[in-house]
Chains A and B, each alone.
Chain A
Amino acid sequence: MALPAAKQGALEGRLATLSLPEAGAWGTEARRDALGRLEAMGLPGRRDEYWRFTDPGLLNAAEPAAAAAFENDEAPLFSAVDRLKLVFVDGVFAPEKSDDIALEGLEIERLSESMSRDIHWVREVYGVLEAGAHSPVPRPHAALNTAFASDGICIRATGRVSKPVSLVYLHEDAGSDAILHHVIRVEPGAEMTLLENGPAAARFNKCLEVDVADTGRFNHVRAQGRDHERVAVTHVFAQLGAESTFKSFTMTVNGVMTRNEAVIDLTGPDATAHIAGACLGDGAKAAFHHDDTVFVRHRAENCESRQVFKKVLRNGATGVFQGKILVDQGAQKTDGYQISQSLLLDGDSQFLAKPELEIYADDVKCSHGSTSGAIDETGLFYLRSRGIPEGEATDLMVIAFLAEAIDEIEDRVLAEDVIERLKGWLARRRRS
């Protein structure tokens, strides 16, 4: 079916600046297929379901809007963590800044290498999870990513990995437009942690496909960069086997436009998926728009899923949460939980939420809640009555509000790192 003229025009505009990267063997085909998917669905528009609250204009534009790199003298997040560090600068892997790509329990290589070999496990995942995730709604920027990703890391965890793999995304060029695609497979009984932090580029499109086999465990903690004008669209596609565990946490501070989508497919029984986000949005220096769009599908019995999203918004910041739990007919004993909350620190900011449940099984426990509110005055007074000045007391209440989301980080060292960082940023903001 042909696209409407406006959509066709937008797509042609976007594609004009892109070309399919050389990718030997199966890679070329995977990319062409993805381009085909993109051409069939077109780029998103404001009238599309799931794009009513977020304007995709900055994502659709042929060229990225300029974004200055955030200047600061802080040690980046996770600096103190023992990790395997892999650095990307404006979306290009920088081996000279990275550790050696080797870690016991992992097979790890760049996407271009994986694609150049005919027989490779990555072939079963790259673009495959993405291709299966366009229902109930299309995700065109993910298809665009699969087609045009210029770099990425492929990781296969075969055992318990001793330390996290940490992807660090540096942003130097104010006009950079980066498309990264990572593929991960966690084999049965294996466990790994992936860390991501940094803005990556002026405009960043990132896909992460994660295939967790039966009894595998995958942990993910990321912090999106603090560059005020940066634009990002990210997708996490996860497929979970029986008795597997997937935990993902994202912290977002600043960014003129961020759309984080997650599609989680619980395909085997007794699997667990937790996905959480903590967001601190301030529209004072630049606009702030942050959108979490999450789709969790229970296909098998006795699985547990949790979505915990918290946003603190001020000075005209906008937060969006669209979260859906779909429980298939056979997915009895499902335990689904979804909470999305915003703390509005003034009357100018807004939170738009669209929580959804769609349940076809008759023996399930599913709950969802969404709230939007001002700061708890009683708590604030209690802190102030102990001598804590209003600004500092407000910051404490903000951290307290975000705590339920941050608590989803299993590793306490990483959680503390995130909390300390938030405290520092809040204090700095107060002083400036």
Chain B
Amino acid sequence: MLEIRNLHVKLEEEDKQILKGVDLTIEPGTVHAIMGPNGSGKSTLSYVLSGRDGYEVTEGSASLEEQDLLSMEPEERAAAGLFLAFQYPVEIPGVGNMTFLRTAVNAQRVARGQDEMSAADFLKLVREKAKDLKIDADMLKRPVNVGFSGGEKKRNEILQMAMLEPKMCILDETDSGLDVDAMKLVSDGVNALRDAGRSFLVITHYQRLLDHIRPDIVHIMANGRIIRTGGPDLALEVETNGYGDLLAEVG
């Protein structure tokens, strides 16, 4: 599904290397987690994969189902099946959430050569998905993320994911700012989307999210590299001992 080879990335504006050779292979239908201390490059990885400006790839490659991600525009990556759930979902005053969702769904359909979804079909689908995430009609009507609580913003991200049905979902610290109930709701939303054709990359600081979204593989990232890969137990090890020991191990 996702294939990252020796990825080196620096900030465009300053001479600062953030990723220093990331290798990662994600098979279809699997859930990978990336954990790591602050500043290890986790969020940068998610931004570079989704095509945000401000980063320069100096070496290496990244592909989604054998398509070169790095040469594509952000919207092309989305249409190819990549989705990033933002750590800080962006408020867009003046654009209704429903308009935004419908524009996005139809833009992706058009890009894939499909017909646009009719207003009625779209409404039916969005209501159904929103209900599962306990998103009420008012949240759908309001401008995108404006005045949403932290939990509402994250639920709204998952709603977008559910509507767009991507193949490769990256969740960037989706647990940040969530209380226990909200975390459960968001995790249920994610788990409902798990299937054999869809993969997840869950970026998080804490093991507790991984109690809800059970990963198949856990990676530890530090200083721009993946320093350790293991099973779900690796996350528990971090929870108990912190990152100190692992960092010491790799020097």
A is bound by B: yes
Instruction: Tell me whether A403 and B107 are in contact in the complex, defined as CB-CB below 8 angstroms, given that A384-B75, A385-B78, A396-B100 are known contacts.
Output: no
CB pair B52–A381 under 8 Å, yes or no, is yes
Q: Is B93 positioned at the interface, with any CB of A under 8 Å from its CB?
A: yes
CB pair B75–A390 under 8 Å, yes or no, is yes
Binding site for B on A (CB under 8 A): 377-379, 381-390, 392-393, 396-397, 399-404
CB pair B103–A378 under 8 Å, yes or no, is no
Q: Is B119 positioned at the interface, with any CB of A under 8 Å from its CB?
A: no
Choose one: A379, A387, A399, A403; the contact of B75 (CB below 8 Å).
A387
CB pair A385–B84 under 8 Å, yes or no, is yes
Choose one: B73, B91, B92, B143; the contact of A384 (CB below 8 Å).
B73
Instruction: Tell me whether A388 and B89 are in contact in the complex, defined as CB-CB below 8 angstroms, given that A381-B74, A396-B95, A400-B95 are known contacts.
Output: no
Q: How far is the CA of A377 from the CA of B13 in the complex (A)?
A: 15
11 A-B pairs in the complex with CB atoms less than 8 angstroms apart: A379-B90, A382-B92, A385-B75, A386-B78, A388-B104, A389-B75, A392-B103, A393-B75, A396-B99, A400-B95, A404-B93
Q: How far is the CA of A388 from the CA of B73 in the complex (A)?
A: 11
Q: Chain B nearest CB: distance from A403 CB in Å?
A: 3
Residue in A379, A389, A402 with the greatest tally of chain B CB atoms within 10 Å: A389
Q: Is B117 positioned at the interface, with any CB of A under 8 Å from its CB?
A: no
Over the window 156-173 of chain B, the binary record of Cβ atoms lying under 8 Å from chain A Cβ atoms (1 yes, 0 no) is 000010001000000000
Chain A residues in 8 Å Cβ range of B100: 383, 386, 396
Chain A residues in 8 Å Cβ range of B92: 379, 382-383, 396-397, 400
Within 8 A of A (CB), among B105-144: 107-108, 111, 143
Q: How far is the CA of A399 from the CA of B143 in the complex (A)?
A: 12
CB pair B95–A386 under 8 Å, yes or no, is no
Chain A residues in 8 Å Cβ range of B51: 381, 384-385
Q: Chain A nearest CB: distance from B223 CB in Å?
A: 26
Not counting A382-B92, A396-B99, A403-B143, a sample of 16 additional A-B residue pairs whose C-beta atoms are within 8 angstroms of each other reads A381-B74, A382-B86, A383-B92, A383-B100, A384-B78, A385-B51, A385-B74, A385-B77, A386-B160, A387-B75, A387-B107, A390-B73, A400-B92, A400-B95, A403-B94, A404-B93
CB pair B53–A404 under 8 Å, yes or no, is no
Binding site for A on B (CB under 8 A): 50-53, 73-75, 77-79, 83-84, 86, 89-95, 99-100, 103-104, 107-108, 111, 143, 160, 164
Q: How far is the CA of A403 from the CA of B95 in the complex (A)?
A: 8
Chain B residues in 8 Å Cβ range of A402: 94
Residue in B51, B53, B86, B95 with the greatest tally of chain A CB atoms within 10 Å: B95
Q: How far is the CA of A383 from the CA of B145 in the complex (A)?
A: 12
Q: How far is the CA of A296 from the CA of B103 in the complex (A)?
A: 40
Chain B residues in 8 Å Cβ range of A381: 51-53, 74, 90
CB pair A389–B107 under 8 Å, yes or no, is yes
Chain A residues in 8 Å Cβ range of B93: 400, 403-404
CB pair A401–B94 under 8 Å, yes or no, is yes
Chain B residues in 8 Å Cβ range of A404: 93-94
Chain A residues in 8 Å Cβ range of B84: 385
Chain B residues in 8 Å Cβ range of A382: 86, 89-90, 92
Q: Chain B nearest CB: distance from A415 CB in Å?
A: 12
Q: How far is the CA of A308 from the CA of B73 in the complex (A)?
A: 35
Q: How far is the CA of A387 from the CA of B77 in the complex (A)?
A: 8
Q: How far is the CA of A379 from the CA of B145 in the complex (A)?
A: 11
Chain B residues in 8 Å Cβ range of A396: 92, 95, 99-100, 103
Chain A residues in 8 Å Cβ range of B108: 386-387
